[in-house]
Amino acid sequence: MRALLVQAAPTPGDLSANAARAAEIVRSAPDADLVLLPELYLGGYDLEAARRHAVAVDDPVLEPLRAAAEQAGTAVLIGMAERLPDGAAANSLLAIDERGRTAAIYRKTHLFGGEPGVFEPGDELVVVPLAGRRLGLLICFDIEFPEPARALAHAGADVLVAAVANMDPYERDHELASRARALDNRLPLLYANRVGQESGLTFVGRTRAVSPDGEVVAQAGRDGEELLTVDVPPMAVGDELVDYLAQVRDDLPVSVKSAGGEI
């Protein structure tokens, strides 16, 4: 699978312009099997305006992107504020297949900072067959917890994919977390972050691809916009001695001792 990881700054609040630019990027890379865009790319990371910018997954504003996906034969993942049927909003990752159809929608399960006051948390994780692989979908803060990635791996994901909007001072957190989640599960991880400034936040780029042994095999810079093309290898037989998924034990009780208690 060839993936194009997009490190870019959206135009805050201009959904049409951002969708059009995403469509242009997809059309410019017909050899890519998958294009990954950052968290909340469609409308920008402005929590005060996020509900106003929320749209349903079938909103016409996304039609240019769907058409580009079909034209190029390329699957697309784009972060967006999703308008839910009850009028609430979710921080979502929309998966569009190579025919321009909705393949899946993942709603961020681990909300960060002020996000719980704006978005409804998702109540399930998602593995979607796309671009010839089984993608486990994650959004930003999700990758800082081992459990979501591990659950996706157990459910059959063979690539972990993270759309993020990571900002100062958390660059080092994600550098470590992205490598750890790949190593934890012996899976490749694709990570697309944005750059620029919005709502008083400075976003720190470093879009990257991580191999199943936790090595960063390709990485963009911190500040500028970049398109990072990576070839994600097919699943290979790993070292059985460190096949963590096969060896992890989930049958161990925890014994909590009281202070000063006898052993």
User: Which residues are tagged catalytic?
Assistant: 39, 108, 140
Note the pLDDT tens digit of each residue in 177-214. Answer: 999 999 999 999 999 999 999 999 999 999 999 999 99
Question: What pLDDT sits at residue 250?
Answer: 85
Question: What pLDDT sits at residue 41?
Answer: 98
First to last CA, the chain: 54
Delineate the domains of the chain, giving CATH numbers in brackets.
Answer: 2-247 (3.60.110.10)
pTM here is 0.94
The encoded tokens of residue 110 equal 């681990």
For the cut 60, the answer to whether the pLDDT of residue 66 exceeds it is yes
Burial class (CB in 10 A: 0-12, 13-18, 19+), 67: middle
Amino acid at 41: Y
